[in-house]
Every structure is written in C-alpha cells, then in structure tokens.
A = this chain, B = another copy of it.
C-alpha cells in the first residue's frame, strides 16, 4: 500500500528513511508544510486547522494510509487527521510509547521533544495510563532542531547542549529515552554519548515505520495511485533540498510545491 507521510517540515524524512529501510521501494507521498514550519511554537487551534488541510491534501493525493510524522501534530491533532482522512492514520506518539514500555526494565522513562510536544504531555499521559508504575521525566530541547538542521551533530557544541538539557534525566536515572521529535535521530550519537550505554534510545521514526508494516499485514490496501514517489512542500525557500538529502540519506528525485488552503 502507498503511504502518505506528513510533517511540518523536513524532519519527517527520517520516517521515510525508516520506512524504506524496512521495505525498500515502498511507494509514498511526502508533504512538508515548510511555509508554516515549525508547528512546535504555534497554538493548538492553529495546528488543528493545518491538520485539516494536510489531511485533505493526502485524501486527494489518493494514498491508502497516512503517517503523521510531526510529533506536535500527532500530539494535538491526531483526531483531526482521523476525522478528515478515510484510511488508517498513524501518529508517532502511540508507537513511541509502546516501544518505550517494551524496552524499559526500571519503568523510569525519559521523553525529549519540542516545547509544544512536552507541554502537551502526550507521551507522559499515554505512558502513565498504560502502566501505573511508570515514572516519566520530560525535557524540552528546542536547540536540538536547529543543531540537526545545521548539521552540527558531532563535536563540542552538540555535546555541551545535550549535557545541559539531559542533566536532569541522568539524575532521574531513567533507563529508556524516547526521542519525541523527528529531528532527533540525527543526534543519536551525541545523545548516546551523554546518556551512556545503559540507556535505551527509542526512535519514534523507527517505531512508526514498524507500526506501518503491521497495518499493511492486516489491510494490504490498494495500489494508491500510480506508485510514483512524490515529495511536496508548501514553500520552496530555505535550504530544504540540501537538508533533505542529509535527513533522507540520499538526494530527492523531484520536489513539487502546493498551496494548502
């Protein structure tokens, strides 16, 4: 089946990469709302309005299933996507929560993300409602996104930034850390170095790609259009193309723009 992958910007390409790693050649439509990125600093109502437009785009694009790669949109607007899109909808929060619960031995779980994701407490609420003995420790790490986009993923600067953000998580003695933002997989070497080998990192891009494979087993679905990959953005500015290559691990074959209204 053909998947639509939606993100507020370029970060969701880590989900595309995880999907392709698990199933090479999977056909997909990627939509990055680069005209309005980042969602993490907008109000809930605004993000829910954007979600409605994105769902309509994916419906018209004829994809069979929809992956909401953006953590902010998954946290505050998953029900909007489900209401406006006819096929299966996967957010990143639920798969990330399940992977964290499966990995943790001590039930002391950390969550890092954008300010909006952490403020929504979407991971924390689901973790605590799944298991009453879970203790959740959340930290917003706003500098991680620009570090990843800048390509500063090794060396002194990211280590200093990570040490400052992750200090309270080390003190809380977590054994599992959820990377609650699509940009963070690029910073795994730094985060691992700072947290130490004893802490398992849960990459929600990987987790949602595995959830997508499960959905396909249950409902293989149709061909979903002509099977050609499409990469679509709402604004061509900035450095999307080089940053995309960095996130995707290969160059984009083509790039379209669209107005979401």
A43 and B149 contact, CB distance less than 8 A: no
Query: Which residues of chain A in 124-158 are interfacial with respect to chain B, using CB atoms and an 8 Å cutoff?
Result: 142-143, 145-147, 149-150, 152, 156-157
Does A254 lie at the interface of the complex (its beta carbon under 8 Å from any beta carbon of B)? no
With A160-B157, A161-B157 as contacts: A43 and B237 at CB distance below 8 Å:
yes
Does A164 lie at the interface of the complex (its beta carbon under 8 Å from any beta carbon of B)? yes
Please give the distance in Å from A195's CB to the nearest CB on chain B: 18
Q: Which residues of B contact A160 (CB under 8 A)?
A: 156-157, 160
Interface residue from B41, B143, B237, B239 paired with A44 (Cβ < 8 Å): B237
With A149-B142, A156-B160, A164-B157 as contacts: A42 and B35 at CB distance below 8 Å:
yes
Q: Which residues of B contact A222 (CB under 8 A)?
A: none
B143 and A237 contact, CB distance less than 8 A: no
Does A241 lie at the interface of the complex (its beta carbon under 8 Å from any beta carbon of B)? no
Interface centre among A34, A149, A160 (most CB of B within 10 A): A160
Does A116 lie at the interface of the complex (its beta carbon under 8 Å from any beta carbon of B)? yes
Q: Which residues of B contact A56 (CB under 8 A)?
A: none
Does A23 lie at the interface of the complex (its beta carbon under 8 Å from any beta carbon of B)? no
Copies of this chain, how many? 2
B146 and A237 contact, CB distance less than 8 A: no
Mark contacts of A83-108 with chain B using CB atoms, 8 A cut-off: 1 yes-contact digit, 0 otherwise.
00000000000000000000000000
Please give the distance in Å from A155's CB to the nearest CB on chain B: 8
CB-defined A-B contacts under 8 Å, sample of 24: A34-B41, A35-B42, A37-B41, A42-B235, A43-B235, A43-B236, A43-B237, A44-B237, A46-B237, A115-B239, A116-B237, A116-B238, A143-B143, A143-B147, A143-B150, A143-B152, A145-B146, A146-B146, A152-B164, A156-B160, A157-B157, A157-B160, A157-B164, A160-B160
Other than the given A40-B238, A47-B237, A116-B237, 15 more pairs (CB < 8 A) read: A34-B41, A34-B42, A35-B36, A35-B46, A36-B36, A41-B237, A41-B239, A43-B238, A44-B237, A115-B238, A115-B239, A143-B146, A143-B147, A146-B146, A156-B160
